[in-house]
Chain A
C-alpha cells in the first residue's frame, strides 16, 4: 500500500486521468430503486377482481341451488372463503407459494380493518335511520305528558330525559373529578407508602361491572333510608352517586397516565429552581397536563352519559319532567331509550330510537370535542416550536446589530 501511493501520485503528476473523474462515456450503474415489500401490479388487481367475481358465482350456486337459504351472512362468509382460496391458488400458480401467501395475507389483514369499521357504521347508521323519523324540534321542548300508546311517535319529547342526563352527569362529574385529579396527583407526585395499594385497588375497581355500582347504592342508601329520607329515595342524586363510583376509577387512571407523560425534566427544573412540591405541581405539572386532563375528562363524560346499568336501581326513570335531582325519580337519555324500546307499541319503540339517536349525537359530539382538544394540543406544540423558530430567525439580525454597535 505504501508503495502504491507514491506510484499513483507520480502517475497523477504525469497527467494520467485520476480515478475520481470518470471517463465521459462509461456506463453508469443503475440508480438504486427502493425495493417495495408488497407490490400489487394492475394485473394482480385484475386477477383478484376475477377471483372475487368467480367466488360470487360459486357462492350464488351454493346458496341459490344447493341450500335452502342460510341467510345473507352465511352467503357472505361463504363467498369470502371461496374468494380467499381462489386468490391463493391463482397467485401460487403465477408466482409461487411465498408471494401467494403474502398477497393473501394482505387481503385478509385488510379485511380485518374493514370488519372493524363496518359494524360501527352499521350500528350508527341503523340508529340514525330509525331515530331520524320522529326527531322534531319539539323533542327538545316537551316531556312525555299526555302521551298515550296510541299517539304517534312524534308526540311529546325527551326534554325530561335530557335535563336528567345533564344534571346527573354534572353532579357525578362534580363529585368525581376533584377526587380523581387529587388521587392521580397523589399517585404521581407524592412519595406516600400508600400509593401502591391505592393503585392496585383502583385497577381492581375499574373492572367492577357498572351494574354493581347501581346495586351498591341501591342496597346501602335506597333500601335502608329511602322510605325515611327523601334524598335517598329513587332520584337523580343516587344515580349521580352511582355514576361517580363508575367514573372515579376510570378518570383516575386516565389522569394518572396523562400526568405520567409530563417529562421528569420539567419537574426537576422546577425543583432545582427552588420551588416546593406543591408549587411544582400547581405551576408546572398541571398546566403541562391541562389539555390531556381535559381530554380524559371529556372522554370520561362521554362514557358516563351512555351508562345505563347504574341508573336502573337509582333514578328509576320517569315519564314527566322533574328538574330537581334531589327528590323523586328522574329520567335520563339512556333510560328513556332503554325503557321505550322494550314497549309493545311501535310509536314507543320509535321514540326510544329517537332518544338513542340524541344520545349517540351527544356522545359523538363529546368524542369529537375530545379529538379536537387533543389536536389543538398537537397544534399548539407546533406553534410553540414555530415561535421559537421565529425568534431564532430574528436573532442573527439582532446579533449583527450588536456587532455593529461594538464596532
Chain B
C-alpha cells in the first residue's frame, strides 16, 4: 500500500462515478415481465369481474325498473302477474332497515361490554379463548343461527312479546292486532340477526380499545381514578369512532343477512311497524324465498337486490370512512 497514488486514483474514481451514476433499477428480466403481466392480469380480471357483476345487475333489473319507474321505491306490493304488473320494494326495504336497527341496537351494548372485558379486564389467560369465541361466532354459518331461531328460540321469545304488547301496546312499535301470532316477527328476526352482528362489532371495538395510548390510561390511574373511571374518561372517548364504525359495518352485515331471515320471516311485501307480530320481510330473505320465476319476476328481484346492494354499499363505505378517520386520529394523538 503506497500512499502516493491513492488520492489521485480515488478522485479519478469518484469523478468517473459522478459522471455515470449507476442506475439503481435494473432492466426487468423476462421473469419480471411475466410476473408483472400475471399479477396485473389477475388484478384487472377481478376488477372487470366486479364491474361486470355490477353492470349485469343494473342491466337485468332495467326491465322491472323501466316498467315501474320511481314508484318501485314507493310502492309496497308484489304483483308480477297483474296487468300491468305492479311491484315495489318499500315494504321490504322498511323491513330490512327495521331488522337491521333492532339487531344492531341489541348487539352494540353487548359487543362494547365484551370488547371492554377482553381489552381491559381479561388477563392473557382468558383473552385467548375469548378472542377464539369471537372468531367462532363469526365462523358459524348463519344457517345454523337461523335453524336455532326458527325451531327453538322464537318460541322462547313469544311470552316476552306478548307481555310487551299487553303492557306497552300504546307505543305504536309494540302494538299488535287482536289474536296476532307472535312467531315470525321482525323482533325475533332482529334478535337472531344480532348474534351474527356481535362478532364484527366486538372485534373492531376491541381493536380500537387496545390501541388506546397506555400513557393516558396510566395517567388516569395515577391520578387516583378507578378502573371504570379510566375506561369512561380515556378508553371510551378514544374508541368512540371505532365503535360507531364497527356498528355500521355490523349494520351492513345485518341488512344483507339472507338465510336466517328467510327462515324466520314470512316475507310479506307489505310494510309494518308492528315488530312483535307475525309479518314483514326483508329484501334478501324475499329474494331467497322467491327463487325462480319468469323473466319479469327475476328482473324485479334483481332490482330489489340492487336497492339492497346500494344500501349495504353506502353503509359499508360510510363505516370504512369513520373507522379510517378514527384510526388516523389515533396515529396523531399517540
Contacts and interface: CB of A to CB of B under 8 A. Distances in A.
Nearest to A110: B117
B71 to A, nearest CB: 22
Contacts of A179: 42, 45-46
Contacts of B31: 276, 278-279
A359 B143 contact: yes
Given A192-B40, A204-B313, A212 B144 contact: no
Contact-size category for A: 35 or more
A185 interface: yes
Given A38-B227, A309-B258, A183 B121 contact: no
A305 interface: yes
Given A73-B156, A182-B43, A278 B34 contact: yes
B156 A71 contact: yes
A201 B47 contact: yes
Main secondary structure of the interface of A (DSSP, over half): helix
Q: Specify the main secondary structure of chain B where it touches its partner.
A: helix
A102 B45 CA distance: 55
B147 A352 contact: yes
Interface string A214-257: 01101110010000000000000000000001001100100000
Contact of B144 (A73, A306, A342): A306
Interface of A: 37-38, 67, 69-74, 98-99, 101-102, 105-106, 108-113, 115-117, 119-120, 122-124, 126-127, 130, 178-180, 182-183, 185-187, 189-190, 192, 194-195, 197-198, 201-205, 207-213, 215-216, 218-220, 223, 245, 248-249, 252, 276-279, 281, 299, 302-303, 305-309, 312-313, 334, 337-338, 341-342, 349, 352-353, 356, 359-360, 363-364, 366-367, 371
Interface of B: 26, 28-29, 31-32, 34-36, 38-47, 49-51, 53, 56-57, 60, 109-118, 120-122, 130, 132-137, 139-145, 147-148, 150-152, 156-160, 162-164, 195, 198, 202, 221, 226-231, 252, 255-259, 263, 284, 287-288, 291-292, 295, 298, 301-302, 305, 308-309, 312-313, 315-317, 320
23 contacts: A37-B221, A37-B226, A73-B157, A98-B226, A101-B229, A112-B111, A112-B113, A117-B133, A185-B39, A186-B40, A194-B47, A201-B51, A202-B50, A204-B317, A209-B309, A216-B57, A245-B53, A277-B35, A278-B29, A308-B258, A334-B143, A338-B263, A363-B141
